[in-house]
Amino acid sequence: MTTTLGTASAGPGEIDTGRLEVGETRDGSPFGLPVAVINGEQPGQTLYMQAVSDGDELNGVGVLQRVVPQLDPTTLSGTILIVGIVNYHAFQIAEHRNPIDDTKMNRAYPGTETGTSSERIAAATFDIATQADLILDLHQGSTSRMLDEVRVRCGKRHRLHDDCLELAKAFGCGYVLDQKGPDGQLARAAPDDGIPTIDPELGGCVGWDETSIQKGVEGVFNVLSYYDFIDGTTELERQTRANGFEQYGSPNGGLVSFEKDLGEQVTSGDVLFEITTPFGEPKATVTADSDGILWRTRRLPQVATGEYVCSVGTDIDSY
């Protein structure tokens, strides 16, 4: 059976790329999201992947660039549907949010066909995503510094919580943040439609980070073999899980220096960072409120009072 996604159309054993038209730009030109269909020769499940839901998060499209040329539809079981760049307008100007409506795309799911620019793109991509049996929404910690990790966003009481955790374990970044996400995330909306979904967060950088992209490539292939799209076995490895997430801001203005590295264990009371003046005079020392792991930090050293500095993953266990 032929599978069609926008202008891409592939029969069994075929791959095709094209565009999914979702509207017009300000000059009245139609614009489309880049899409790919990989239709396996053998029957199987359907996987949906998307990248650049946030316009400055490019590691996901780096993953797709490396994965897609390695896929052979003649040996694939099942179908893979891909939207390569979701946040079209934000991608054009290398910003996080869609400049047309100043919205974060991952707060707009499941979207509305007659809504704002972001809501319409969310609706169009949600339509495709919900044809699948599994969803990978490739993100990263924006331009901050962050661990390579996978987020499970449906919440612990959700009927698909275990399935999402299993998918996160199969992806296998090593770290999982298991915390109910805000409204409007694809990784929250799609499980409500019965589809296990994870939000791999592939580090954080400006542009591309090769180490994080490689983690993502391995993660996608781990999922493909674990769910029998391709031959091979995925050995499930124990994941370090954070069940909570604490954010720290700066008590005053100045320059931040961190006392802990990303991934380092933190004990309540440990110094996380210091703020100094331009002349090296100490202004403040900030300590951890809880035990955990240093998960994410700001990239630039300068901060104003109250500005975001870092996050600690808390309530750590493993599964």
Please give the residue ranges that form the binding site for Zn ion (CB under 5 A). 54, 57, 139
CB of 278 to Zn ion, least distance (A): 33
β-strand 145-146 against 3-5: which pairing, if any? unpaired
Q: Cis omega before residue 110 (within 30°)?
A: yes
State both tokens at 29: 């030109």
Q: Six-digit token pair at 272? A: 């996380």
Which one, 16 or 57, has the nearer CB to Zn ion? 57
CB of 49 to Zn ion, least distance (A): 14
User: Of the two residues 120 and 153, which places its CB atom closer to Zn ion in the complex?
Assistant: 153
Shortest Å, Cβ 60 to Zn ion:
9
212, 202 Cβ separation under 8 angstroms: yes
> Sheet containing 254-258: which strands, arranged edge to edge?
282-287, 271-276, 254-258, 302-303
3-state SS, residue 99: coil
Question: In the complex, what is the shortest distance from the CB of residue 33 to Zn ion, in angstroms, rounded to a whole number?
Answer: 16
Length of the chain in terms of residues written: 319
Nearer to Zn ion, 190 or 286 (CB): 190
d(CA 165, CA 128): 22
CB of 16: closest distance to Zn ion in angstroms?
27
Pick the closer one to Zn ion by CB: 137 or 166: 137
What's phi and psi for 217, nearest 5 deg? -60, -45
Complex with Zn ion: residue 139 or 241, whichever CB lies closer = 139
Provide the minimum distance between the beta carbon of 77 and Zn ion in the complex, in angstroms, as a whole number. 30
Q: Give the β-pairing of 197-202 and 148-152.
A: antiparallel
CB-wise, 57 or 163, nearer to Zn ion? 57
